[in-house]
Structure 1
Amino acid sequence: MLFYEKYIDISQEVLKGFKENSPVIGIDSTILSNFSYPENLKRIYEIEDKIRSNGGVPGIMVILNGRLKVGVSKDELEILAKMEFLTVASKKDIPYLILKRESGVLSFDSALAVGILSGLKVFLTGYLTCDKNPIDINKYIYKDLCEYSFNNIAVISSGIRSEAEMNLIVKNFETNDVPIIGYQIENIPIYNSEKIAKVNYKIETPSEIVSFLTIKWELGITGGVIIFNEQFDEKLEKQEEWKIINLKNLTKNIKIATTIGSEIYRIK
């Protein structure tokens, strides 16, 4: 038994995807807590279906009755979707939820950690965000960084939520030599802001991005990359809630994630 099997259940669909080098796409499960039942279930099914229609395998991650799940069945998703309260678990919460056999959804930082442990290399999100500093609520902390620094992963995002968060996130990426790639764009999209921050490299095609990753990882330059895709025109969406806009942008990133993912799992 591998050590993670004590705590993690990987679905047969995900295991089959690994075996066939299919693009298994890691996703956090906060959609379940951001929307009420049955809308949350409908929206997560739509994302899974779109990943599959693009040739990918959805690797949604949750914790159910103290078991981490990578790839979740419809019955399991429905159980979670109907819960009145769901803990949004960051990395520090996971051991406690396992200990107490509780259930919850995984935030993006904990989904990265669990996904990496399970063999995932490609992760999908909308906008990158920070958490409020519990000591000083006027400041942010960025929890995802260590996963990028020490693991060969690719994260596809639509940008950064705010100017203040951008300042911290970009500073952390630059300090830790995490490449910032723009897929056909020169600037990092920042929601509801005119401020401009440049990507490190504008790359025009998915195949070039895969080649970049292949060179990096075959040279033994360990660490992940962040790939920014163009966001939706936010001016057309001013009346919509943030969670809707963020979800639309996540969905927009599925095509590029599965295209890149179809090759990334072949890189040794």
Structure 2
Amino acid sequence: MCPAVAQPIVALESTLITHGFAYPRNFQVAQEIEQAVRDAGAQPATIAVLNGQVKIGLSDDELEALAKSRDARKCSVRDLGIVIGLGLDGSTTVAATMFLAARHGIGVFATGGIGGVHRGHPFDVSADLIELSRTPVTVVCAGAKALLDLPLTFEHLETLGVPVIGYQTDEIPAFYSRRSGLRADICAETPQDVARIVRARRALGLPGGELVCAPVPREAELPREVAEEAIIEAQRRADAAGIHGPAATPFMLDQIAKLTGGASVRANVALLINNARIAAHIARAMIDE
């Protein structure tokens, strides 16, 4: 009798469902991301807190209920005790998803873009960066969200000891755009390359995870100059309205979508699906080798 083979699993965040898109598009995008993982040979596990219970993998009914919810709290790690203790609903950010994925033995996680250092507000640093430095999960993304200060964000990751791996690129992508002008620490051409790096780090007992950065598909790319112009104007509007902290990102993403005529949303969806597919390949490579 052959021994059972471990099932490759990819963790998925749920904040993009509650705070990234409006219903019903958020539900549709969540389903498309999960299907991309399945099509690439892995099992998706969207993570959330429902009625105070941690859920690792949601049914379609649970996904849709979360997509319709207006009460789900956006949860970073600091919020998990609150929503669980009080029996609330919560959607998980990159940091919280990493934490819960690691606790349940899931080592690969796909998202859109990580948080980082906010432009003009270097004191405003996302908890995502700290979690990357201490939780052993490989995060596949399209870089940090383009509305952030990218040089400071990746300098911060270097200080924290987090390796930044370009997936089939030697340059860190800028979320909507394929290039940022910032060099990745290494270019990994295949999922197997990523798996070898991860295994070596785990064998050495190094803390934290890895950031795998994959460029947005070329056909969906928002030209860098167009994205940058929209970001600068969105930041100006946020500053004028006094919007900072957790409220800044959703406000600015909404403004950028309006300023680009929806092109930023199309790029966002394309990179989410692309990242999910790549994460599934990496999860399979982690088992196969």
TM-score by length of 2: 0.76
Q: 1:21 maps to which residue?
A: 6
- Deviation of residue 138 (structure 1)? 6.8
Which region of structure 1 is more displaced relative to structure 2, 100-109 or 78-87? 78-87
The gaps in structure 2 that reach 5 residues or longer are 228-259
- Deviation of residue 167 (structure 1)? 2.4
Q: 2:75 maps to which residue?
A: 89
What is the rounded CA distance, in whole Å, between the counterparts of 1:142 and 1:31 in structure 2? 16
- Deviation of residue 163 (structure 1)? 6.9
Alignment of 1:102-113 (within 5 A): 102-113=88-99
- Deviation of residue 88 (structure 1)? 1.1
Q: 2:222 maps to which residue?
A: 234
Which region of structure 1 is more displaced relative to structure 2, 205-214 or 180-189? 205-214
| Equivalent residue letter for 2:276 | I
Q: 1:14 maps to which residue?
A: none
Tell me if the contact between 2:176 and 2:268 (Cα under 8 Å) persists in the aligned partners.
no
- Deviation of residue 181 (structure 1)? 1.0
Q: 1:213 maps to which residue?
A: 198
The root-mean-square deviation of aligned C-alpha atoms, in Å, is: 2.6
Which region of structure 1 is more displaced relative to structure 2, 112-121 or 236-245? 236-245
- Deviation of residue 197 (structure 1)? 0.8
Alignment of 1:121-140 (within 5 A): 121-130=107-116, 139-140=123-124
What is the rounded CA distance, in whole Å, between the counterparts of 1:113 and 1:172 in structure 2? 20
- Deviation of residue 186 (structure 1)? 1.2
User: Whose helix fraction is larger, Structure 1's or Structure 2's?
Assistant: 2
- Deviation of residue 62 (structure 1)? 0.9
What is the rounded CA distance, in whole Å, between the counterparts of 1:247 and 1:47 in structure 2? 9
Q: 2:268 maps to which residue?
A: 246
Closer, same or farther: CA 241–106 of 1 in aligned 2, 3 Å: farther
Q: Please, which of 245, 248, 257 is the counterpart of residue 279 of structure 2? A: 257
Closer, same or farther: CA 45–164 of 1 in aligned 2, 3 Å: closer
What is the rounded CA distance, in whole Å, between the counterparts of 1:64 and 1:169 in structure 2? 32
**What secondary structure is seen at the aligned counterpart in 1 of 2:149?**
helix
Tell me if the contact between 2:98 and 2:137 (Cα under 8 Å) persists in the aligned partners.
no
Tell me if the contact between 2:17 and 2:66 (Cα under 8 Å) persists in the aligned partners.
yes
What is the rounded CA distance, in whole Å, between the counterparts of 1:168 and 1:265 in structure 2? 35
- Deviation of residue 118 (structure 1)? 1.3
What is the rounded CA distance, in whole Å, between the counterparts of 2:142 and 2:57 in structure 1? 23
Closer, same or farther: CA 261–56 of 1 in aligned 2, 3 Å: same
Alignment of 1:103-252 (within 5 A): 103-130=89-116, 139-162=123-146, 164-191=148-175, 195-232=180-217, 233-235=221-223, 238-240=260-262, 242-252=264-274
What is the rounded CA distance, in whole Å, between the counterparts of 2:286 and 2:180 in structure 1? 32
What is the rounded CA distance, in whole Å, between the counterparts of 1:108 and 1:228 in structure 2? 14
TM-score by length of 1: 0.82
Tell me if the contact between 1:26 and 1:60 (Cα under 8 Å) persists in the aligned partners.
yes
Q: Deviations over 1:71-126 (max 9, x none)?
A: 01122222222223332112121111112211121111111111111111001111
Closer, same or farther: CA 132–95 of 1 in aligned 2, 3 Å: farther
**What secondary structure is seen at the aligned counterpart in 1 of 2:153?**
helix
Which region of structure 1 is more displaced relative to structure 2, 243-252 or 180-189? 243-252
Matched residues, number: 247
What is the rounded CA distance, in whole Å, between the counterparts of 1:266 and 1:132 in structure 2? 39
Query: Are 1:31 and 2:53 counterparts?
Result: no
Which region of structure 1 is more displaced relative to structure 2, 136-145 or 218-227? 136-145
Q: Deviations over 1:1-27 (max 9, x none)?
A: xxxxxxxxxxxxxxxxxx742221111
Closer, same or farther: CA 244–95 of 1 in aligned 2, 3 Å: farther
Closer, same or farther: CA 140–259 of 1 in aligned 2, 3 Å: same
What is the rounded CA distance, in whole Å, between the counterparts of 2:204 and 2:127 in structure 1? 27
Identity of aligned residues (%): 27
**What secondary structure is seen at the aligned counterpart in 1 of 2:212?**
strand
